[in-house]
Amino acid sequence: MSALKASITGVAAYVPPHKLTNAMLEQMVDTSDEWIVSRTGIHERRILKEKNLATSDMGAEAVNQLLEKRGIDPKEIDLLICATVTPDMPFPATANLITDKCGLTNAFGYDLGAACSGFLFALETGRRFIESGAYKKVIIVGADTMSSIINYSDRNTCIIFGDGAGAVLLEPSEDPTIGIQDSILKSDGSGVNYLHQKAGGSLNPASKETVEQNLHCVYQEGKQVFKFAVSGMAGACQDILEKNELSAEDIDWLVPHQANLRIIEAARQRINLAPEKVMLNLHKYGNTTAGTLPLCLAEWEDQLKKGDKLILTTFGGGFTWGSMYLTWGYSK
């Protein structure tokens, strides 16, 4: 095992100002505030409305804030990985655009696509670069402009998703009790049919027909995804506790992917964790895909203390899912 641990030493997030409330959705599709709140827990989401702004702009906002908070020169950053399924364009990578916008002139960057698990998978990747000793300062961004791939006449999907971005800094920790301790990450491509974007890739390149049929938008069979999400996320939480001989009392915070309050509640109950230990902000932001975990960490940063034990967990398209056990790197 590596002597070095990778520790989160800063976090920041950005959500666009425009709010899309349940009342506004009631005017757009056949739904109700009561249905959305009782089935998902979501009250409103943020939407990136401004023309000419995209995922890299939200990512850059979060990264600039992070660097400013930590007083770090952008030139010190070695690597930036951006987890997203809504890149500004197929190429170049959104990570490259963020490094340029933030002046990270000594960093290389690339994108990682694992849908709602993207941030967790990218965190695992960044962790290994730090543990190997190759790099000292790695930024992991989770950012998605879901509004760019949502069909706002499809009530199955438009009620869930929102836009947002977050970023964390990873640095080496000499203290083995601080930093990322363990992870369990899974993917199963046989879940593709339940949650995907039908067109715009090499299988179905963009055409007049694909646009007319809204095939560039998210397609989801919610009920099926829900079932897999409950067993995947709850199982991943239980497994990581058992693997590390932890009980619910040892855990300070659960940081779950914010897709549906009922999925989060199932995971919490599986590990018998007290409700007040769960980070929840989906009522304000909905499901921001790769943005959900860093949006939570940024919001709870002031309450986190050095050494706090956190379980991060996700489930998303792919299917992709997993959990991570880490101890927090600093007190504010």
Q: For residue 331, what are its two tokens? A: 């007190």
Indicate if 257 belongs to the active site.
yes
Interaction between residue 116 and ligand UT7 (CB under 6 A): yes
Interaction between residue 225 and ligand UT7 (CB under 6 A): yes
Closest to ligand UT7 by CB, 39 vs 101, is 39
Helix, strand, coil shares of the chain as percentages rounded to 5? 40, 25, 35
Minimum distance, C-beta of residue 118 to ligand UT7, in the bound complex (Å): 11
Residues 54 and 274: their CA atoms lie apart, in Å, by 38
Closest to ligand UT7 by CB, 156 vs 231, is 156
Cis-peptide, bond into residue 16, ω within 30° of zero = no
CB 107 within 8 A of CB 99: yes
Minimum distance, C-beta of residue 123 to ligand UT7, in the bound complex (Å): 17
Beta bridge partners of 180: 326
Closest to ligand UT7 by CB, 155 vs 198, is 155
8-state DSSP, 323: E
CA nearest to 143, candidates 69, 87, 214: 87
Query: How many alpha carbons fall within 13 Å on the CB side of residue 161?
Result: 29
Interaction between residue 35 and ligand UT7 (CB under 6 A): yes
Q: Could you say which of 86, 287, 323, 327 contacts ligand UT7 (CB under 6 A)?
A: 287
Q: Report CA dihedral (212, 218, 222, 224) to the nearest 10 degrees.
A: 100
Residue nearest to ligand UT7 (CB): 222
Minimum distance, C-beta of residue 149 to ligand UT7, in the bound complex (Å): 13
Closest to ligand UT7 by CB, 135 vs 161, is 161
Q: Could you say which of 166, 222, 235, 294 contacts ligand UT7 (CB under 6 A)?
A: 222
Q: Residue 138: phi, psi to the nearest 5? A: -120, 130
Q: Which of residues 298-317 bind ligand UT7 (CB under 6 A)?
A: 315-317
CB 314 within 8 A of CB 293: yes
Interaction between residue 196 and ligand UT7 (CB under 6 A): no
Q: Could you say which of 106, 125, 151, 156 contacts ligand UT7 (CB under 6 A)?
A: 156
CB 143 within 8 A of CB 83: yes
Residues 257 and 37: their CA atoms lie apart, in Å, by 17
Indicate if 18 belongs to the active site.
no
Indicate if 216 belongs to the active site.
no
Interaction between residue 31 and ligand UT7 (CB under 6 A): yes
Closest to ligand UT7 by CB, 116 vs 311, is 116
Closest to ligand UT7 by CB, 80 vs 160, is 160
Q: Which of residues 246-285 bind ligand UT7 (CB under 6 A)?
A: 259-260, 263
Closest to ligand UT7 by CB, 10 vs 162, is 162
| Region binding ligand UT7 by CB under 6 A among candidate stretches 151-159, 170-178, 181-189, 198-206 | 151-159
Helix (H, G, I), strand (E, B) or coil at 18: strand
CA nearest to 314, candidates 252, 234, 242, 217: 234
Given 257, 260, 281, 296, which residue is catalytic? 257
What length does the chain have? 332
- The H or E element that residue 320 is part of is strand 320-327
Total number of residues binding ligand UT7 (CB under 6 A)?
A: 21
Helix axes 261-270, 33-40, angle to 10 degrees: 20
Binding site for ligand UT7 (CB under 6 A): 31, 35, 39-40, 116, 155-156, 159-160, 222-223, 225-226, 229, 259-260, 263, 287, 315-317
Query: Which residues are tagged catalytic?
Result: 116, 257, 287
